[in-house]
């Protein structure tokens, strides 16, 4: 399924997101800056992409970690999953957090995160006095794996 997403380069050296393979769910986002950025241990830096998106109404852009960057360098989005709403028109930035014990660098043009465009449901919250019963009930935080 293909959905058109309008994109605007805010800087000449910005790289349009790309998919690694034909069936990739996430498109790679690229760092857009003039110089290398160093992220100190347990610190977060905002990495600009140099692009803005027009996410279609009824969809959201979700920014996830790139598995290689997270596993090999210890760098992942600070907010775990970023959300780009359909009415946001500013520059896409990734708040990369360094989970490692060593300073790590991001090079201009490096792949820093992945973007998934996905439909979502807007809930209409209905306040009630009671919820329907289920077998699980109020069990949470690992309760389904216990016997």
Task: Give the Cα separation of 115 and 97 in Å (integer).
Answer: 17
Please check whether residue 35 lies inside any domain of the structure: yes
The tally of domains found in the chain comes to 1
Please check whether residue 137 lies inside any domain of the structure: no
Predicted TM-score (pTM) of the model is 0.89
Bin 113: left if φ > 0, else alpha if -120 < ψ < 50, else beta.
Answer: beta
Q: Given pLDDT bands bounded at 50, 70 and 90, which one contains residue 146?
A: low
Q: Given pLDDT bands bounded at 50, 70 and 90, which one contains residue 140?
A: confident
Please check whether residue 107 lies inside any domain of the structure: yes
What is the percentage of the chain residues whose pLDDT exceeds 90? 88
Q: Given pLDDT bands bounded at 50, 70 and 90, which one contains residue 137?
A: confident
Q: Given pLDDT bands bounded at 50, 70 and 90, which one contains residue 1?
A: confident
Residue 19 sits in a domain of what CATH number?
2.70.40.10
Summarize the confidence of residues 15-34 as an average pLDDT: 97
Please check whether residue 60 lies inside any domain of the structure: yes
Task: Give the Cα separation of 18 and 117 in Å (integer).
Answer: 13
Q: Residue for token digits 């028109």?
A: 89
Please check whether residue 67 lies inside any domain of the structure: yes
| 76 sits in which H/E element | strand 75-77
Specify the pLDDT at position 147.
Answer: 59
pLDDT at 123 over 70: yes
pLDDT in tens, 32-79: 999 999 999 999 999 999 999 999 999 999 999 999 999 999 999 999
Please check whether residue 68 lies inside any domain of the structure: yes
pLDDT at 139 over 90: no
What residue numbers bound the domain in which 116 lies? 6-121
Please check whether residue 127 lies inside any domain of the structure: no
Is there a contact between 79 and 25 (Cβ–Cβ < 8 Å)? no
Taking residue 83's Cβ as centre, other Cβ atoms within 10 Å add up to 12
Is there a contact between 105 and 37 (Cβ–Cβ < 8 Å)? yes
Please check whether residue 92 lies inside any domain of the structure: yes
């Amino acid at each position: 399924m293909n959905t058109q997403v309008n994109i605007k380069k805010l800087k000449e050296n910005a790289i349009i997101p790309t998919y690694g393979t034909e069936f990739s769910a996430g498109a790679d986002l690229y760092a857009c800056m003039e110089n290398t950025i160093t992220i100190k241990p347990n610190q977060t830096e905002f990495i600009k992409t140099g692009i803005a998106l027009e996410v279609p109404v009824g969809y959201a852009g979700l920014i996830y970690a790139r598995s290689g960057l997270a596993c090999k360098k210890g760098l992942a989005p600070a907010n775990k999953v970023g959300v780009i709403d359909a009415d946001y028109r500013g520059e896409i930035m990734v708040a990369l957090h360094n989970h490692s014990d060593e300073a790590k660098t991001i090079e201009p043009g490096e792949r820093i995160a992945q973007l998934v465009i996905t439909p979502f449901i807007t809930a209409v919250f209905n306040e009630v006095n009671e919820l329907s019963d289920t077998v699980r009930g109020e069990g949470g935080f690992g309760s389904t794996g216990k016997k």
